Homo-oligomer: A and B are copies of this chain.
Amino acid sequence: MAHVTTLRRFNRYFTRRIGALDEHYLGRDRPLNEARLLYEIGSGASLRELRTRLGLDAGYLSRMVRALEGQGLVRVTVHPTDSRLRLVAPTPAGRDELAEQNRRADALAEGLLRGLSGSQRDRLTEAVAVTERLLRLASITVRPAGPASPDARACLTAYAAELDERFPEGYAVTDLVPPERIAVLLVAYEEERPVGCGALCAPDTDTAEIKHLWVHLDARGLGLGRRLLTELEHTAAGRGHRTVRLDTHTALKEAAALYRTGGYTEIPAYGDNPHAGHWFEKSLPTGPPVSRPAGGTACRGDGTQRSPGGRPGIGGTEGHGTEGPEGTGRSGAGRAPR
């Protein structure tokens, strides 16, 4: 409860004070939503994209874009291949306006920081980064999806593409486990956008095998890998398996570290995965069955089932920060932070 109180007080303080200030500065001489829209357009976007990202009504959006166009800030063009779509891009004047927006927002942040000493700034930045990471992690939901669903495919092809880059021998989409051999596929959603996955295969009744554990680059450093791993283990336990095993490539150092700190022990080679270099195993607790809405969750993918809400995380050793979403150093304009 102390957690809730602290979080709520912070929420109140922040949105009413800092957030309000920010909106005030952003808006200035233009309706807030229009300013926001310009910001989200960034260096260019399609109406469709903006509509879903901002959750705006199509009609409302259309009119606002028209207004920005009337002010000479954006230009609207027809999509080259699909002429139903409209593309919006800022004009030079629009870019200036965006730059001005950024300057104002930067000035606001700088003004705030000016009241702090160097070490206080460092501490603030650190605390803010930790808060953001944990809140993002907390707001990510993990739920089963059909192994052949678009969301699952999106994750798995991104996974394959990444492995193809990282493995000296390459990795083809055909190296993936075929959908029909996947017993359960968990997908992690951040604001309904798939940002990670993990599959469970069931070679026999006793053992489950974890495959294709992957986290989107944008969501790395949050502790999501561990959360997916833990939820997969819970799912396996719920299905009656006693052991989970998995293999990993020698190039994936972080993965091996994740498994080791997650209670896995290295075992001799099994199976015929040509990419594997390490093999791990963990026996699942078989005590009183954990009450959770698990069970036959495989392959629903209809989106009606929400996250089982299990407790992820084993201890305090999440080890963030190795490759968090920081680091790009971009200051905002061109990037949609959602």
Contacts and interface: CB of A to CB of B under 8 A. Distances in A.
A269 B326 CA distance: 54
Interface string A311-332: 1111110100000001001111
A127 B136 contact: no
A2 B105 CA distance: 14
Interface of A: 1-19, 22-23, 105-106, 109-110, 112-132, 134-141, 191, 223, 227, 307, 309, 311-316, 318, 326, 329-332, 337-338
Contacts of A119: 313, 315-316, 318
A3 B106 contact: no
A74 B191 CA distance: 38
**How many chain copies?**
2
A261 to B, nearest CB: 13
A67 to B, nearest CB: 21
Contacts of A2: 125, 329
Contact of A134 (B7, B123, B312, B313): B123
Given A3-B122, A6-B128, 6 more contacts: A5-B329, A7-B125, A16-B338, A112-B138, A116-B138, A127-B127
Given A12-B337, A18-B135, A139-B17, A313 B113 contact: no
Contacts of A137: 115-116, 120
A337 B318 CA distance: 33
B19 A19 contact: yes
Given A15-B22, A338-B16, A7 B124 contact: yes
A8 B112 CA distance: 11
Contacts of A5: 329-332
Given A6-B129, A116-B137, A315-B119, A14 B13 contact: no
A287 B112 CA distance: 28
Contacts of A132: 9-10, 13-14
Nearest to A36: B16
B115 A312 contact: yes
Nearest to A311: B117
Which 6 A-B pairs have CB atoms at the shortest separation, nearest pair first?
A117-B313, A15-B19, A119-B316, A127-B130, A115-B138, A124-B134
Contacts of A10: 128-129, 131-132
A228 to B, nearest CB: 12
